[in-house]
């Protein structure tokens, strides 16, 4: 058989047929080492039921790759093979952290996260799933937070048809096996997202549970992690989110999270992005990082934070020295839960504030529907007014000079949010403050700038006549939601 | 001579003529001890120039008061006198802290602070001063923050006609004397405020200075404090604010503030309210009390705080165990300074948030004017849209059951502001959150409540049909600025 040709960043897969034995889930294992010149990657295979072991790998460099199997099954031990990885210049590769506070594709092109949240869109009817994908396709969103396990919560009481483990809530679940049909479906969903250019920020554990998945025996948790990484690490658009609100998973100790993060880091040959997301109680949420998992852990690629106040972004950047993503900042909507009824104006404002301070924020929408299909959990149809404004901000950012925004030190302790990219290009956001003018003391001395007044709600960009230097006076509309774009001449 | 009759809480004054000698300001002193049954009060007199020493005292109980003078001047030493203090049931007496987190008149009636800010209204032309007093008379404000010393700052560059010390900016000032005409005028201004039922929260030091008053020799500072307390402690409506933004007075050490507070506490026979107000830098302003004067000092009657986030109010109450007043929370207006251009909606929202969390907030207004008369500094005419809404809140509070609002523990970490008074009466404020309904889980179980939906911006109160119990569902308008009033049946 000729060596297969595998494009860079696409999936090599090989299947190995053995005896059909459900005990393979727990008792047998297969792994392989992949080599390409001086590069090697250790990859776990997984049992796909019906006597089939599967090995998957996403090559990260062109060239001839060889692999050799290890296995507890003598018939697989030592098997080997090879494939040619061909360059794929049109494919930008997985999203990575860039040198410090931002993200880029593997080819170095910048990538700006504009995420949304639909925790269990993957558990909804096929019709709702298709609506979700159409909504996403027409939206500015390029990342989605979604769960592996089903969700038990207000507005989330329907019983799913299928679970990661065989079984159901009446009879219980067989934790010694996995339901491969569930994972087949999950893989299709992640692939559909990838076709739309959307990253799947996959939440591996969460506390909203009536089935027992939030308090599995630790041995099952680790088997589950190995399984899901073996199945999904070859998906270009996968991210690992250890948990949503990890601190509400009261039965898991901090040592579990340390070990789980270390396991993924060790077993994912493709080094996908990894984070862990907090809940936190008052009054501790006033502190910048009390009761959070310690984001200093170098295995975490970025800080995934739940917080409603974007002013902390510069502090968190400095503290953790990695990208800061506010993966939950309240949702636009009208549910009765306090985090789920902010205005569209405020949602847009949170995006602008975070971006101007060198961070990123994740969208969510919680408008009540007669059918109880609410975007934040189920997906469906987006109806909030923030969406086009978020698209507007994304366009402004992507049309910028492809450099990263760094927050400027504040001129005064009540000041607005402002960030610049190397002194050449900047955004200055007044939020709901309404100054009638601005003394442009934030412009570096000596340089000249072209200034646009942006109405972030009306989505207008009004170039100002002339140029501006340090200390010049700029007349402003004196209404909320105004931003400035500054471009050095 | 018959004993004079002095009504309770009004002013006893006695004058003593000696030689006309400007050195009396520094070299001579007079004090007196006032006795009434088992009560005694030590009172400092002050030199009013032209050979006249003055002794003032506001009696705090009816009955026959006797006093005996001590003095460095042999002709005053040992002089004595008496007066009858008569009951004055119509006068409620000075404002005090009540048992813990709130304020009341000395007769026990509750007093709810609705303060405003016009730092140097007292330094403006007579015409502007009259406008200020008319504006105040028509406003909901019952406290004003104002400075003894003139203010040097943006929009505050005019040179005053008169200062607390004789002299001017060209020739310098004579710190060994006081300009008694300045103090006569200040007393008139404070009396005019009292006639309107307005407390004068008098700022004794501040950093906005081109004359040198913020860096006087410590000996002068202490002489100034003794002088001003001797002159003004008999004014029923005086409060002592040690400083505005004390931490910007860089040349004063913490030991100075300790000593100044102790001096006022010792020398004010009437025990007026005392506080000290902070500035604070980022990122420290995210901490609840870094770089603040330590409000635990029992000599401080309440915490006077500059902060923009009302969610800390319950934390500060618990920390300091005294009333919490946010004496600066940003101002409604359109100046270019970040703290001076919030919307009227936000100003109103800050009032509601603080009140529902058991604290109080102070108003300010910074709309640009062609004549550069801006309320926050100069007084003049109020034009903001928050004023009638603040009046509306004051009415609701004063029509309440005259009990104090205590914040309720939050149901969730994103929740709204809510406070109740002994389970019988409460306010629940959604700020800019827009829930379409509310599950009334905050109502104590077992009791029935009448509920009004308040639109805090439109100023409407809509009683809801029927009664509500713990867990009942209440439909809401799903727009910002909604509050609930809860009354136990």
* Cα angle: B175, vertex B13, B268; to 5 degrees: 60
Tell me the mean pLDDT in the region A188-210.
Answer: 98
> Pick from B343, B414, B476: which is nearest to A330 by CB?
B414
Query: Rounded to whole angstroms, how far apart are CA atoms A52 and A32?
Result: 16
Q: Which of B398, B421, B452 is at the close of a domain?
A: B398
Nearest CA in chain A to B480: A343
- In total, how many domains does chain A have? 3
Indicate if the pLDDT at residue B50 is higher than 60: yes
The candidate with the shortest Cα–Cα distance to A362, out of A154, A146, A92, A120, is A146
* B274 and B413 fall within a common domain: no
* B389 and B413 fall within a common domain: no
Kindly list the residues from chain A whose CB atom is less than 8 angstroms away from the CB atom of residue B279.
413
Tell me the mean pLDDT in the region A394-407.
Answer: 87
Q: What is the pLDDT of residue A413?
A: 37
Mutate to test the interface with B, among A154, A283, A319 (most CBs of B within 10 A): A283
Any domain includes B403: no
* A33 and A163 fall within a common domain: no
Sequence-distant (≥ 6) Cβ neighbours of residue A138 within 8 angstroms: none
The parent domain of residue A213 ranges over: 95-398
* Distance from the B295 Cα atom to the nearest Cα atom in chain A, whole angstroms: 19
Nearest CA in chain B to A410: B282
The candidate with the shortest Cα–Cα distance to B336, out of A478, A310, A420, is A478
Indicate if the pLDDT at residue B368 is higher than 50: yes
Say which range, B111-115, B284-288, B483-487, has the weakest mean pLDDT: B284-288
B273: its two tokens: 């309210």
Kindly list the residues from chain A whose CB atom is less than 8 angstroms away from the CB atom of residue B308.
414
Any domain includes A35: yes
Indicate if the pLDDT at residue B335 is higher than 60: yes
Kindly list the residues from chain A whose CB atom is less than 8 angstroms away from the CB atom of residue B333.
434
Q: What is the pLDDT of residue A283?
A: 42
Residue that wins the pLDDT comparison between A401 and B347: B347
Q: What is the pLDDT of residue A282?
A: 44
Helix pair B180-195, B218-232: axis angle to 10 deg: 40
Cα Dmax for chain B:
79
Q: What is the pLDDT of residue A284?
A: 46
* B291 and B171 fall within a common domain: yes
* B46 and B15 fall within a common domain: yes
Tell me the mean pLDDT in the region B323-340.
Answer: 94
Evaluate whether A364 touches A386 at the Cβ level (below 8 Å): no
Tell me the mean pLDDT in the region B146-151.
Answer: 98
* A123 and A171 fall within a common domain: yes
Query: Rounded to whole angstroms, how far apart are CA atoms A60 and B177?
Result: 83
* B215 and B235 fall within a common domain: yes
Residue B180, phi then psi, degrees to nearest 5: -65, -25
Is A412 within 8 Å of B308 when comparing Cβ atoms?
A: no
Q: What is the pLDDT of residue B2?
A: 64
Query: Rounded to whole angstroms, how far apart are CA atoms B260 and A189?
Result: 69
* A101 and A168 fall within a common domain: yes
Evaluate whether B354 touches B95 at the Cβ level (below 8 Å): no
Kindly list the residues from chain A whose CB atom is less than 8 angstroms away from the CB atom of residue B343.
432, 434, 480
Confidence class for position A127, pLDDT limits 50, 70, 90: very high
Distances (CA, A) of A374 to A117, A383, B334, B417: 11, 10, 39, 26
Is B335 within 8 Å of A414 when comparing Cβ atoms?
A: no
> Pick from A342, A368, A478: which is nearest to B334 by CB?
A478
Residue A237 CA, distance from chain mean position: 9
Which strands sit side by side in the sheet containing A103-105, from one edge to the other?
A95-97, A103-105, A110-111
Nearest CA in chain B to A281: B413
Kindly list the residues from chain B whose CB atom is less than 8 angstroms away from the CB atom of residue A315.
283, 286
Query: Rounded to whole angstroms, how far apart are CA atoms B22 and B61?
Result: 36
> Pick from B282, B341, B435: which is nearest to A335 by CB?
B435
Residue B189, H or E segment: helix B180-195
* B451 and B311 fall within a common domain: no
Any domain includes A403: no
* Distance from the A85 Cα atom to the nearest Cα atom in chain B, whole angstroms: 50
* Distance from the B480 Cα atom to the nearest Cα atom in chain A, whole angstroms: 8
Indicate if the pLDDT at residue B257 is higher than 90: yes
Query: Rounded to whole angstroms, how far apart are CA atoms A299 and A257?
Result: 12
Evaluate whether A300 touches A323 at the Cβ level (below 8 Å): no
Kindly list the residues from chain B whose CB atom is less than 8 angstroms away from the CB atom of residue A289.
none
Q: pLDDT per residue over A251-294, tens digit each?
A: 999 999 999 999 999 999 999 999 999 987 544 444 445 578 98
* A354 and A440 fall within a common domain: no
Distances (CA, A) of A7 to A54, A68, A111, A193, A198: 19, 20, 22, 19, 20
Query: Rounded to whole angstroms, how far apart are CA atoms B85 and A465?
Result: 72
Q: Cis (ω within 30 of 0) for the bond into A283? A: yes
Any domain includes A44: yes
Distances (CA, A) of B5 to A317, A322, B34, B83, B231: 69, 75, 15, 6, 21
Q: What is the pLDDT of residue B412?
A: 39
Q: What is the pLDDT of residue A134?
A: 98
Indicate if the pLDDT at residue B77 is higher than 60: yes
Q: pLDDT per residue over A466-479, tens digit each?
A: 999 999 999 999 99
Tell me the mean pLDDT in the region A169-185.
Answer: 97
Any domain includes A134: yes
* B181 and B109 fall within a common domain: yes
The CATH number given to whatever domain includes residue B37 is 2.60.40.10
Q: pLDDT per residue over A63-75, tens digit each?
A: 999 999 999 999 9
The CATH number given to whatever domain includes residue B270 is 3.20.20.80
Residue B258, H or E segment: helix B254-267
Give residue B233's region: left, alpha or beta (phi > 0; psi -120 to 50): alpha
* pTM attached to this predicted model: 0.89
Kindly list the residues from chain A whose CB atom is less than 8 angstroms away from the CB atom of residue B330.
414
Mutate to test the interface with A, among B435, B468, B481 (most CBs of A within 10 A): B435
Q: What is the pLDDT of residue A6?
A: 96
Interface predicted TM-score (ipTM) over 0.90: no
Q: Which of A52, A86, A120 is at the close of a domain?
A: A86
Tell me the mean pLDDT in the region B378-395.
Answer: 97
Evaluate whether B10 touches B88 at the Cβ level (below 8 Å): yes
Indicate if the pLDDT at residue A107 is higher than 80: yes
Kindly list the residues from chain A whose CB atom is less than 8 angstroms away from the CB atom of residue B334.
434-436, 478
Q: pLDDT per residue over A296-332, tens digit each?
A: 999 999 999 999 888 888 888 988 999 999 999 999 9
Kindly list the residues from chain B whose CB atom is less than 8 angstroms away from the CB atom of residue A369.
none
Residue A126, H or E segment: helix A126-137
Evaluate whether A293 touches A274 at the Cβ level (below 8 Å): no
Percentage of chain B with pLDDT > 90?
84
Q: pLDDT per residue over A416-458, tens digit each?
A: 678 888 778 999 999 999 999 999 988 888 999 999 999 999 9
Any domain includes A150: yes
* A67 and A141 fall within a common domain: no
Confidence class for position A412, pLDDT limits 50, 70, 90: very low
Q: What is the pLDDT of residue A281?
A: 52
Percentage of chain A with pLDDT > 70?
96
Residue that wins the pLDDT comparison between B283 and A189: A189
The candidate with the shortest Cα–Cα distance to A141, out of A165, A112, A170, is A112
Kindly list the residues from chain A whose CB atom is less than 8 angstroms away from the CB atom of residue B280.
413
Confidence class for position A120, pLDDT limits 50, 70, 90: very high
Any domain includes B47: yes
Query: Rounded to whole angstroms, how far apart are CA atoms A388 and A381?
Result: 14
Q: pLDDT per residue over B453-487, tens digit each?
A: 999 999 999 999 999 999 999 999 999 999 999 99
Tell me the mean pLDDT in the region B212-226.
Answer: 97
Sequence-distant (≥ 6) Cβ neighbours of residue B356 within 8 angstroms: B405, B407, B416, B417, B418, B419, B427, B428, B429, B483
Is B338 within 8 Å of A436 when comparing Cβ atoms?
A: no
Mutate to test the interface with A, among B328, B434, B440, B478 (most CBs of A within 10 A): B434
Indicate if the pLDDT at residue A218 is higher than 60: yes
> Pick from A279, A414, A478: which is nearest to B308 by CB?
A414
The mean pLDDT value of chain B amounts to: 93
Q: pLDDT per residue over B59-76, tens digit each?
A: 999 999 999 999 999 999
Residue that wins the pLDDT comparison between A3 and B134: B134
Find the chain A residues whose C-beta atoms sit closer than 8 A to any C-beta of B: 279-283, 285-286, 288, 308-309, 311-312, 314-315, 330, 333-339, 341-343, 346, 368, 410-416, 430, 432-439, 478, 480
Q: Which of A398, A433, A460 is at the close of a domain?
A: A398
The CATH number given to whatever domain includes residue A480 is 2.60.40.3950
Percentage of chain B with pLDDT > 70?
96
A39: its two tokens: 């590069």
């Amino acid at each position: 058989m000729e060596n297969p040709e595998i494009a860079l960043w696409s999936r090599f897969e090989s299947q190995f047929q053995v005896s059909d034995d459900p005990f393979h889930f727990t008792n047998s294992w297969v792994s392989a080492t992949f080599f390409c010149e001086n590069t090697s990657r250790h990859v776990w295979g997984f049992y796909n039921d019906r006597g089939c072991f599967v090995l998957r790998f996403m090559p990260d460099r062109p060239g001839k790759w060889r692999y050799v199997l290890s296995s507890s099954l003598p018939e697989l031990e030592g098997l080997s093979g090879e494939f040619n990885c061909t360059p794929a210049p049109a494919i930008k590769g997985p999203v990575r952290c860039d040198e410090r506070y931002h993200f880029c594709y593997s080819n170095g092109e910048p990538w700006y996260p504009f995420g949304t949240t639909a925790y269990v869109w993957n558990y909804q009817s096929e019709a709702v799933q298709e609506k979700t994908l159409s909504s996403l396709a027409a939206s500015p969103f390029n990342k989605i937070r979604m769960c592996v396990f089903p969700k038990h919560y207000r507005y989330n009481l329907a019983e799913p048809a299928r679970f990661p483990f065989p079984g159901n809530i009446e009879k219980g679940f067989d934790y010694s096996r996995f339901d491969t049909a569930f994972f087949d479906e999950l893989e299709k969903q992640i692939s559909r997202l990838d076709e739309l250019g959307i990253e799947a920020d996959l939440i591996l554990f969460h506390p909203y549970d009536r089935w027992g998945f939030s308090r599995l025996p630790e041995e099952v948790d680790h088997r589950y992690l190995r399984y899901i990484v073996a199945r999904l690490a070859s998906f270009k658009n996968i991210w690992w989110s250890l948990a949503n609100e990890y601190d509400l998973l009261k039965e898991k100790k901090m040592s579990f999270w340390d070990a789980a993060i270390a396991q993924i880091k060790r077993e994912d040959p493709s080094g996908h992005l990894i984070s862990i997301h907090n809940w936190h109680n008052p009054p501790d949420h006033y502190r910048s990082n009390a009761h959070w998992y310690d984001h200093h852990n170098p295995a975490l690629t970025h800080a995934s934070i739940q917080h409603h106040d974007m002013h902390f972004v510069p502090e968190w950047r400095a503290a953790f020295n990695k990208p800061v993503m506010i993966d939950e900042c309240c949702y636009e909507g009208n549910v009765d839960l306090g985090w789920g009824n902010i205005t569209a104006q405020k949602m847009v404002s949170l995006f602008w504030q975070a971006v101007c301070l060198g961070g990123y924020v994740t969208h969510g929408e919680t408008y009540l529907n007669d059918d109880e299909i609410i975007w934040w959990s189920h997906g469906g149809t987006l109806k909030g007014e923030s969406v086009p404004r978020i698209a507007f901000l994304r366009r402004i950012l992507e049309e910028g000079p492809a450099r990263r925004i760094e927050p400027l030190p504040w001129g005064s302790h009540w000041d607005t949010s402002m960030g610049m990219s190397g002194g050449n290009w900047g955004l200055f956001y007044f939020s709901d403050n309404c100054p009638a003018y601005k003394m442009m003391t934030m412009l570096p001395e000596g340089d000249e700038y072209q200034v646009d007044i942006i109405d972030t709600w009306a989505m207008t960009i009004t170039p100002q006549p002339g140029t501006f230097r340090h200390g010049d006076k700029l007349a402003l509309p004196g209404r909320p939601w105004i931003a400035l774009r500054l471009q050095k001449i």
